């Protein structure tokens, strides 16, 4: 069984502080500057909410770049972004930390204008007076994101920590490009390997499905060498996403419910409706043949269903979002269902019988999309925004692939352990990209 570690004004009421220097870390000496910052592009301040974490498209399209820090720890965003500070700009900046156990990181923050701090997608108020923060880091990857507003006196910031910020684990060159299809798909969302037939199924979501007057999503058949076998094998699906196979049937999450496809016949055999669903996303099947489907709905009116389970011919509520918010990727491992929880940026594990929930690892923030076994007791997990990670059986998290700087998605991927072949649906790029993964 997979274990892992235990688990009002111009800026919306944010008061502007000009060159406020608040250091000291509650009486202790500064231990380290936070240095590994990357910045988004510059935005008009009026477009940026000071209290809401940016939506996933905003993160994906932000144009992240590394920014330089002066010897005194100050990050001059005006110089880094090539923009006059004035008093009407905002940039998002972020740093990542990875820890093996829960701990509190103490920060002091100075900025030339208004600033707001988010930890793992949640807004954090100062805890120790102006500029002082106590951040509760979770085991795994943690994201510190600042929204930094410019002011007439400058546009910059500086962050002190009570100890050096442990960087994320990365393996550069872990994934070597093998092949990539032409951009012939229609927003490919998921790839699934049919081992018995030696083919790949690719679901084309159609990112513009809400503007269509008819269902335009489809399933394609693709060879393991990237050759397109059947461009539109199954058509007429409304925004198909995740898929799973049971015998001769392929189950696909669509907007209305779960489509059951007869594989030998190449046709939709049944539709299992889920009338109260909002955004059905991924499908998983346990050893007893029970089918689970995630519902990535916003948690606006809890309790809302986050995972459904097929009982007879009908899907019934199985898990509510009070336990796992904004459920996305699903994977059955032993007696647990692993669930990517976008609300909070965590990987959760749910016991299939008791439904007890535990946190496996923190991924920081982002849409926790694809989940696959590595064939050796660990899992691979992706963030839709462009990263893919390996979590080994001992709970060590390592980044293997980062598509975010190139603005390419890593959606619901497939992994073939015997071939060490990673197959990534690139979503907005409309391709499937294959990579050979190093041992």
In CATH terms, 175-437 corresponds, of 2.120.10.30, 1.10.260.40, 2.40.40.20, 2.60.40.10, to 2.120.10.30
Average pLDDT for residues 269-279, to the nearest whole number?
91
Where in 216-353 does DSSP place strands (E)? Answer: 217-222, 228-237, 243-246, 249-253, 257-262, 267-273, 280-285, 291-295, 305-311, 314-320, 327-333, 336-341, 346-351
Q: At residue 12, does pLDDT exceed 90?
A: no
- Is 32-161 a domain of CATH 2.60.120.260? yes
Q: What value does the mean pLDDT take over residues 157-186? A: 94
Could you give the C-alpha distances from 177 to 86, 425, 433, 437, 438, in angstroms and in order?
44, 14, 8, 9, 11
Residue 87, pLDDT > 80, answer no
Answer whether residue 305 shows pLDDT above 90. no
pLDDT at 300: 52
The pLDDT value given to residue 313? 80
Query: Which whole number is the average pLDDT over 52-77?
Result: 93
**Which pLDDT does position 336 carry in this prediction?**
98
Bridge partners of 108, per DSSP, are 132, 160
Cα–Cα distance, 219 to 189 (Å, whole number): 10
Instruction: Check if the beta carbon of residue 190 is closer than 8 Å to that of residue 219.
Output: no
Model confidence at 13, pLDDT cuts 50, 70, 90, reads very low
Average pLDDT over residues 82-100: 89
Residue 134: the pLDDT is 93
Q: Strand runs (DSSP E) across 35-114, as ranges? A: 38-39, 43-44, 65-66, 75-76, 89-99, 103-111
- Please report the pLDDT score of residue 323 as a whole number: 75
- Preceding amide of 424 cis, omega within 30: no
DSSP, res 46: G
Quick one: average pLDDT of 98-116?
94
Q: The tokens 């929880």 sit on which residue?
A: 341
Number of H helices, E strands in the chain: 2, 36
pLDDT value at position 5? 43
pLDDT for position 302: 58
Whole-structure pTM value: 0.91
* Confidence at residue 3, expressed as pLDDT on a 0 to 100 scale: 57
Q: Report the C-alpha gap between 67 and 13 in whole angstroms.
A: 28
Q: pLDDT tens-digit profile of 151-161?
A: 988 899 999 99
Confidence band for 392, pLDDT divided at 50, 70 and 90 = very high
- Range 260-269, long-range pairs (CB < 8 A, 24+ positions): 261/219, 261/234, 263/194, 263/197, 266/233, 266/234, 267/234, 268/234, 268/236, 268/237
Q: Please report the pLDDT score of residue 26 as a whole number.
A: 39
Grade residue 321 by pLDDT with cuts at 50, 70 and 90. Answer: confident
Quickly state the pLDDT bin for 168 (edges 50, 70, 90): very high
Classify residue 15 by burial, with Cβ atoms within 10 Å: 0-12, 13-18, 19+. Answer: exposed
Least confident of 123-137, 157-171, 274-288: 123-137
Confidence class for position 35, pLDDT limits 50, 70, 90: confident
Q: What is the pLDDT of residues 217-238, one digit of tens each?
A: 999 999 999 999 999 999 999 9
pLDDT band at 307; cut points 50, 70, 90: very high
Instruction: Give the C-alpha separation, 361 to 374, whole Å.
Output: 16
Distance CA 197, CA 170 (A): 35
337 pLDDT exceeds 80? yes
Closest by Cα among 319, 345, 349 to 333 = 349
Query: What is the percent of the chain where pLDDT is above 90?
Result: 79
Q: Where are the domains of the chain?
A: 32-161, 175-437
Position 182 scores a pLDDT of 98
Average pLDDT over residues 95-108: 94
Phi, psi of 268, deg, nearest 5:
-75, 120
Strand order in the sheet with 314-320: 280-285, 291-295, 305-311, 314-320
Please give the mean pLDDT across all residues of the chain.
89
């Amino acid at each position: 069984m997979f274990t892992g570690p235990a688990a009002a004004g111009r800026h919306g009421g944010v008061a502007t502080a000009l060159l406020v220097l608040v250091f000291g870390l509650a009486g202790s000496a500064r231990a380290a500057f936070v240095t590994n910052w990357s910045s988004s592009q510059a935005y008009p301040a009026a477009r940026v909410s000071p209290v809401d974490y940016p939506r996933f498209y905003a993160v994906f399209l932000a144009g992240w770049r590394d920014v330089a820090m002066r010897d005194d720890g100050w990050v001059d965003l005006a110089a880094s972004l090539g923009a006059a500070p004035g008093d009407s700009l905002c940039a998002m900046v972020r740093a990542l930390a990875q820890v093996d156990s829960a701990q509190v990181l103490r920060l002091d923050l100075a900025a030339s204008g208004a600033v707001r701090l988010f930890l793992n997608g949640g807004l954090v108020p100062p805890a120790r007076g102006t500029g002082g923060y106590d951040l509760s880091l979770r085991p795994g990857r943690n994201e510190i994101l600042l929204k930094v507003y410019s002011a007439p006196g400058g546009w910059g910031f500086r962050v002190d920590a009570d100890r050096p910020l442990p960087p994320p684990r990365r393996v550069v060159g872990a994934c070597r490009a093998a092949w990539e299809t032409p951009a012939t798909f229609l927003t490919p969302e998921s790839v699934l390997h049919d081992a018995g037939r030696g083919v790949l199924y690719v679901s084309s979501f159609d990112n513009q499905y809400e503007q269509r007057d008819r269902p335009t999503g489809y399933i394609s058949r693709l060879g393991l060498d990237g050759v397109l076998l059947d461009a539109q094998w199954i058509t007429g699906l409304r925004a198909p996403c995740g898929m799973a196979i049971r015998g001769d049937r392929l189950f696909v999450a669509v907007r209305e419910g779960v489509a059951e496809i007869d594989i030998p016949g190449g046709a939709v055999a049944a539709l299992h409706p889920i009338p109260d669903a909002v955004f059905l996303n991924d499908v998983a099947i346990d050893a007893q043949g029970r089918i689970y489907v995630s519902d990535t709905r916003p948690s606006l009116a809890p309790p809302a269903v986050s995972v459904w389970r097929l009982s007879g011919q009908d899907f019934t509520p199985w898990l509510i979002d009070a336990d796992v918010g904004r459920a996305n990727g699903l994977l059955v491992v032993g007696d647990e269902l692993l669930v990517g929880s976008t609300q909070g940026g965590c990987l959760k594990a749910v016991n299939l019988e008791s439904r007890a929930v535990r946190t496996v690892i923190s991924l920081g923030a982002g849409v926790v999309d694809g989940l696959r076994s590595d064939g050796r007791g660990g899992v691979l997990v992706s963030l839709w925004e462009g990263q893919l990670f390996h979590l080994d059986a001992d709970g060590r998290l390592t980044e293997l692939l980062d598509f975010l700087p190139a603005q390419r998605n890593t959606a619901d991927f497939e992994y073939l352990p015997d071939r060490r072949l990673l197959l990534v649906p690139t979503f907005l790029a409309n391709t499937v990209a294959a990579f050979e993964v190093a041992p």
